[in-house]
Amino acid sequence: MPSTSYLIAVLAIVFSITLALRALPFAVLGKLRGSSLVQRLSVWMPVGILLILAVTALHGTMAADPHGAWYALLAVAVTIGVHLAFGRRTILSVGIGTAVYVVLLNTL
């Protein structure tokens, strides 16, 4: 068993590295805020992340149940419709789309 001072030293090093790696992007972002690349990323990254999340989450259900694929496509259409109709409010559209999907899976 390692000594207590050794464990404290390891934890201090791990803490320092983690803090530095998490703070570095914020320090660099301040200087890059006017960059066109950062502005484009701020528009497209949320959409890309939601797309990856949706594909990953729905893949298992759509592969296992043929009706699940239609329910998923309907829920995605509802999500897109709500997103465009109510001023691009992501939380609202994802919440309503998820609720539609859960209701369809559990009632039909």
Q: Give the domain extent around 94.
A: 35-107
- pLDDT band of residue 34 (cuts 50, 70, 90) is confident
Q: Of 55 and 10, which is predicted with more confidence? A: 10
Task: Copy the structure tokens of residue 62.
Answer: 């759509």
pTM of the predicted model over 0.85: no
Same domain, yes or no, for 28 and 18? yes
Give the pLDDT confidence score for residue 2 in this predicted structure: 84
49 shares its domain with 26? no
d(CA 42, CA 75): 26
Q: Tell me: do 54 and 98 sit in the same domain.
A: yes
Q: Tens digit of pLDDT for each residue in 62-101?
A: 777 777 788 888 998 999 999 999 988 889 998 999 999 8
Comparison of pLDDT for 77 and 39, the residue scoring more: 77
Is there a single domain that holds both residue 91 and residue 50?
yes
User: Do residues 5 and 52 share a domain?
Assistant: no
- pLDDT at residue number 20: 93
Could you tell me if 28 and 45 lie in one domain? Answer: no
3-state secondary structure of 34: coil
Asked if residue 13 has pLDDT above 90, the reply is yes
pLDDT-derived band of residue 36, with 50, 70 and 90 as boundaries?
Answer: confident
- Torsion-angle region of 35 (φ positive above 0: left; ψ -120 to 50: alpha; else: beta): beta
